[in-house]
Structure 1
């Protein structure tokens, strides 16, 4: 048996695959254009945040000038000092927002987790009706429920109350959160609990020791969603918290702007107030970003 050899024609050049250029000039130019476009989009997205923070440290007279300043050349802390003083009402609104948000997150995680567990693990009469009810409630516009919600809270004396507004927030956030958690619950095999029960654990202990730790990223991701919804909610709070003494931070910010309308809106203090409202969200996100990222990725591929 003889080996067949081939020879390159005269004048032809051979190219070593290891030294062959990975990208052609056209593909390299396209890659640079896409990178440049991504930087432009990121700059456009980040500029409002930068302008808010820059304006928060700028005197109002300087901010209202016809020539905008894009660099912090005249920074001051006077805007924050005014807001953090006792007369601005910031601390009262902050305590109200924190109380409502934390209670809402706890209630949402409990009820949404139980609902997702029931949908994913159990077959019971009315299961399809329950799923359809969750979808239907999610499609209802919040504005169409304001009158009924106001009368319901007024009838039981829960207007201007942390518990009353937390119940409304929970009812608004739970349907979507159930669907978020459903993918996580369905992604954990039930055989893990069965194997733990064979080893001698009860169903409750098997769930707490095996299944619940695997669902932690999903619970964190759902908690972040509930936190953001409750912290930034405005319209329901406007209906359920009519008193000036019981306001969340978004309502306080609106009242702050209205109070300044007679002498012109102090945009520097408005931007400083907006920065203070956004700060707890940023701190909370920094603490849970690792768990939230893994939870969102897991929920995308499971279920």
Structure 2
């Protein structure tokens, strides 16, 4: 028992050390965002933001392009999440609850699509969006994000839908509910953790995506936040990189993600665990 306790304590120490090592870059970004550039360039590192200020954040907000980039990113991300979940839910329901010709081929096609390298489709995507006039357009980049997110979202939701016994719906139908009402009242509420887990995946993919937006959104006034941050760093580099402002800008990109995780963390945890044992 004593040996087991010592071993457990050692593994706990190792786990805590790894967690701190993983979290340190995030803390360093937070800490640096409050410090002036002169302090950050000092050979003596400053690990606490004592004596710092909000000047870096004020400078970021003074850049009028931030609000525009934030609005575009929010619009594209929310559109991607909502449409992807709706389409993926219907597809997952179809392949989990119904037998139809081509069902296995459809599932196999989803897996094959996930294997395609995104970089190999840039030229085709650019030409396609250009031909329909959707370059530098929120709709155009949203369509491409949705196409990239939907296959894996279908695969995730399929496990959740398959994990809810169809007998529950049949019992509701015996009690007088129609098939649609039985599904809406019995099955749909049980899928909430699956929707949250899938929505988190779609949100992160759309919010952090850089390469597709770089190809499609070429105008300065039509940039998502990752593109805006890249342009912000480049502009700073032309006058000697102001790392305090860069870190503050990075914090502003990360804040919506942090808020989103705080709102859905409980549902996300239960959703991931459920998805691991169902389907």
- After TM superposition, the score normalised by the length of structure 2 is 0.98
SS of the counterpart of 2:238? helix
The partner residue of 2:83 within 104, 107, 119 is: 107
Measured after TM superposition, the shift of residue 27 of structure 1 is 2.5
Does the CA contact (< 8 Å) of 1:59 and 1:74 recur in 2? no
Q: Computing the radius of gyration over CA atoms, which structure comes out larger, 1 or 2?
A: 1
How is 1:42-121 mapped onto 2 (pairs within 5 angstroms)?
42-85=19-62, 87-121=63-97
Does the CA contact (< 8 Å) of 1:82 and 1:88 recur in 2? no
How is 1:1-303 mapped onto 2 (pairs within 5 angstroms)?
23-24=1-2, 26-85=3-62, 87-303=63-279
Measured after TM superposition, the shift of residue 238 of structure 1 is 0.5
SS of the counterpart of 1:120? helix
CA distance in 1, matches of 2:8, 2:169: 49
Give ranges in structure 2 of 5+ residues lacking alignment.
Answer: none
Give ranges in structure 1 of 5+ residues lacking alignment.
Answer: 1-22
CA distance in 2, matches of 1:302, 1:32: 33
**Structure 1 or 2: more helix by fraction:** 2
Q: Which string of whole-angstrom CA distances, capped at 9 and with x for unpartnered residues, describes residues 16-63 of structure 1?
A: xxxxxxx22x33322221111111111101100110000000001111
Question: Which segments of structure 1 move beyond 3 Å, counting only runs of 4 or more?
Answer: none
CA distance in 2, matches of 1:27, 1:103: 51
Q: Which string of whole-angstrom CA distances, capped at 9 and with x for unpartnered residues, describes residues 73-125 of structure 1?
A: 3311100011112x341111000000000000011101111111111111111
What is the total number of aligned residue pairs between the two structures?
279
SS of the counterpart of 1:270? helix
CA distance in 1, matches of 2:44, 2:267: 44
Measured after TM superposition, the shift of residue 294 of structure 1 is 0.9
